Amino acid sequence: MEPVTGPISRDDYMQVLVARQQAWHARNPHVKLPALYEWFIEDGDELYVIVPKQAPAPKKTVTPRVYRSAESLRAERDKLDADMARVAGAGDPGDRAATNLSPYSRSRAAASAGRRRFAQMDRALERYTAMSRRRDALDSRIAKAEAREARRNGDA
């Protein structure tokens, strides 16, 4: 195949590479795997291939960050406080005898009830701990929001 000597579009150049590949396969019929197109690029071909210019990517429009107000964060914290109080009071069975149930009791029914009670207390403790961490995070966010609002209002 002759080398490329004049300007050529990229689609026409692909046809040249396909022709070079087919000619190579005709000379090497014992090779069963297809030859890669990269094998048929000759030195100097890149000087004549016309690649269209890509338009620059449009610049991203930056949207300003939206912060939550301290008031909305306080409302969420108040709701969380109510949920924490509910979870803390959920462990009280109302029956004083139920507090003495043990999972190690000799009675099968009492042991089963004790395991259920302990599992309930464990779940309540896990939920309360997660809520407590969330409350601490909200307290921090409220302090930041108050400082941000004070700066915006010119109080600081």
Query: Quick one: average pLDDT of 138-154?
Result: 93
Query: Quick one: average pLDDT of 68-96?
Result: 86
- pLDDT value for 92: 62
The tens digit of pLDDT for each residue in 54-65 reads 889 999 999 998
Is the model's pLDDT at 23 over the cut of 60?
Answer: yes
- pLDDT value for 91: 59
- Whole-angstrom Cα distance, residue 73 to residue 8? 64
- CA distances from residue 9 to 19, 22, 50, 54, 108 in whole angstroms, order as listed: 15, 20, 5, 15, 86
- pLDDT value for 82: 94
Query: Quick one: average pLDDT of 143-153?
Result: 92
Q: What is the pTM of this model?
A: 0.52
DSSP H or E run through 8? strand 8-9
Q: Which has more confidence, 14 or 100?
A: 14
Amino acid 76 reads E
Comparing C-alpha atoms, which of 120, 85, 86, 87 is closest to residue 101? 120
pLDDT above 70 covers a percentage of the chain that reads 90
Pairing of strands 8-9, 49-50: parallel
**Tokens for 32?**
């069963």
- What helix, strand, coil percent values describe the chain, rounded to 5? 60, 5, 35
- pLDDT value for 70: 95
- Whole-angstrom Cα distance, residue 40 to residue 18? 9
In the numeric block, the tokens 């009670």 are attached to 117
**Tokens for 101?**
């149930």
